[in-house]
Amino acid sequence: MRLKELEIQGFKSFPDKTRLTIGEGITGVVGPNGSGKSNISDAIRWVMGETSSKQLRGAGKMEDVIFGGTQTRGAMGYASVSLTIDNSDHRLDMDADEVVIGRRYYRSGESEYSINGQSVRLKDVYELLLDTGLGRDGYAIVGQGRIAEIVAAKSGERREIFEEASGIARYRYRKNEAERRLAAAEGNLERLRDILGELE
């Protein structure tokens, strides 16, 4: 599995459609301070489902990821990022050699996610990337200050990182989902019992 291409439009300092092809081996991004290097890694993190704007440099709220305009250029109405992943080793549980994850966010607060052109929910992106190291709780992107955060983290939080790395986060997630559904079913049963009680 390898990141192949990133397309950014209207995201942070990238108003125009910008396509970055990521070759094999190590890719370095160089540029002067403030030129948008971190915005590229933020775009990768964001398209994979980052929901906390605090994790994205300089974004107090999610709307701040949309290009806010400059002296010569008006603000954009939405931010859009798409990431192409080489899946020829089929590490992502999809019957496709290439997986394209897309995310778009409008100033109105409306969000859209897609996987290979199909409109999906955030949950689907999360589930697709679970245990791959990518995704919202992934360890593949190590942001500035992240190491210090891990060292200072409470043991429970640190365990979550090891769980993701060792591939058991998927099972914990499924267990939580099953427990949530079970609780909902219990609630429904309770209500049914009440109704039956009233009918008797």
**Residue 18: CB minimum distance to ligand ATP, A:** 13
- Write out the binding residues for ligand ATP, residues 66-105 only, by CB under 6 A: 66-68
Can you tell me which of 1, 18, 20, 36 binds ligand ATP, judged by CB under 6 A? 36
The sign one gets for the Cα dihedral 109, 53, 121, 17 is positive
Can you tell me which of 1, 20, 57, 106 binds ligand ATP, judged by CB under 6 A? 57
Q: CB nearer to ligand ATP: give 34 or 156.
A: 34
Check: CB of residue 79 under 8 Å from CB of residue 9.
yes
Q: Residue 36, by phi and psi: left (phi above 0), alpha (psi -120 to 50) or beta?
A: left
Residue count at the site for ligand ATP (CB under 6 A)?
16
What are the helix (H) ranges across the chain?
Answer: 37-47, 122-129, 146-152, 155-166, 169-199
The per-residue DSSP string of 68-122 comes to --BTTBPPPSEEEEEEEEE-TT--SSSS-SEEEEEEEEETTS-EEEEETTEEE-H
User: Residue 35 phi/psi, 5° resolution?
Assistant: -85, -10
Q: CB nearer to ligand ATP: give 66 or 129.
A: 66
Q: CB nearer to ligand ATP: give 12 or 45.
A: 12
Residue 33 found at the interface with ligand ATP (CB under 6 A): yes
Is 37 a known ligand-binding residue? Answer: yes
Q: CB nearer to ligand ATP: give 67 or 105.
A: 67
Quick one: angle between helices 155-166 and 169-199, nearest 10?
110
Is 58 a known ligand-binding residue? Answer: no
Check: CB of residue 46 under 8 Å from CB of residue 103.
yes
Residue 58 found at the interface with ligand ATP (CB under 6 A): yes
Q: Which of 79, 101, 86 has the alpha carbon at shortest distance from 9?
A: 79
Residue 133 found at the interface with ligand ATP (CB under 6 A): no
Can you tell me which of 17, 19, 52, 64 binds ligand ATP, judged by CB under 6 A? 64
Stretch touching ligand ATP by CB under 6 A, among 27-35, 45-53, 128-136, 191-199: 27-35
Is 38 a known ligand-binding residue? Answer: yes
Contact positions toward ligand ATP, by CB under 6 A? 12-13, 31, 33-39, 57-58, 64, 66-68
